[in-house]
Structure 1
Amino acid sequence: MPIVIFLIVLFLIFLSTIRIVPEACAMVVERLGSFHSVWRPGVHILIPFMDRIAKRINLKEQVADFPPQPVITKDNVTMRIDSVVFFVITDPKLYAYGVENPIAAIENLTATTLRNIIGSMDLDTTLTSRDEINTQMRSLLDVATDPWGIKVNRVELKNILPPDAIREAMEKQMKAEREKRESITLAEAKKQSAVLTAEGNKQAAILNAEADKQKTILAAEAQKEKEIREAEGRAQAILDVQRAEAEGIRLLKEAGADDAVLRIRSLETFAKVSEGKATKIIIPSDIQNMAGLLNSLKESLVSPSTVHPTENGNEEA
Structure 2
Amino acid sequence: MGPFMIALLVFGLIILFSSFFTVKQQTAVVVERFGKFLSIRNSGLQLKVPIIDRIAGRVNFRIQQLDVIIETQTKDNVFVKMKISVQFKVIPEHAYEAFYKLEYPHDQITAYVFDVVRAEVPKLILDDVFARKDDIAIAVKRELNEAMMAYGYDIINTLVTDIDPDIQVKNAMNRINAAEREKTAAMFESEAQRIRIVAKAKAEAESKKLQGQGIADQRREIARGLVESVEVLNEVGINSQEASALIVITQHYDTLQAIGADTNSNLILLPNSPQAASDMLNNMVTSFSASNIIGEQMKKQPKRVKKVDNTSTDFNPSDTSNPTETV
- TM-score, normalised to structure 2, is 0.57
**Structure 1 stretches of 4+ moved >6 Å:** 195-206
1:26 alignment partner, one of 19, 28, 35: 28
1:79 matches 2:94: no
The residue aligned with 2:302 is none
Note the 1:1-317 alignment, pairs <5 A: 1=1, 6-67=8-69, 69-90=70-91, 91-193=94-196
> d(CA) in 2 for partners of 1:196 and 1:180?
24
> d(CA) in 1 for partners of 2:198 and 2:97?
73
% identity of equivalent residues? 27
> d(CA) in 2 for partners of 1:94 and 1:157?
28
Label 1:161 to 1:3 Cα distance change in 2 as closer, same or farther (>3 A).
Answer: same
Deviation digits for residues 85-114 of structure 1 (CA, Å, limit 9, x no counterpart): 111111321111122211111111111111
> d(CA) in 2 for partners of 1:174 and 1:54?
58
> d(CA) in 1 for partners of 2:144 and 2:58?
24
> d(CA) in 1 for partners of 2:72 and 2:183?
33
Unaligned runs of 5+ in 2: 215-327
**Which of structures 1 and 2 has the bigger CA Rg?**
1
Q: Residues 85 and 159 of structure 2 are in contact (CA less than 8 Å); yes or no, is this contact kept in structure 1?
A: yes
Label 1:6 to 1:175 Cα distance change in 2 as closer, same or farther (>3 A).
Answer: same
> d(CA) in 2 for partners of 1:172 and 1:81?
22
Label 1:201 to 1:118 Cα distance change in 2 as closer, same or farther (>3 A).
Answer: same
Deviation, 1:190, is 3.3
Q: Residues 112 and 143 of structure 2 are in contact (CA less than 8 Å); yes or no, is this contact kept in structure 1?
A: no
Label 1:120 to 1:13 Cα distance change in 2 as closer, same or farther (>3 A).
Answer: same
Deviation, 1:187, is 2.7
Label 1:24 to 1:187 Cα distance change in 2 as closer, same or farther (>3 A).
Answer: same
Unaligned runs of 5+ in 1: 213-317
> d(CA) in 2 for partners of 1:47 and 1:76?
63
Deviation, 1:157, is 2.1
Deviation, 1:185, is 2.1
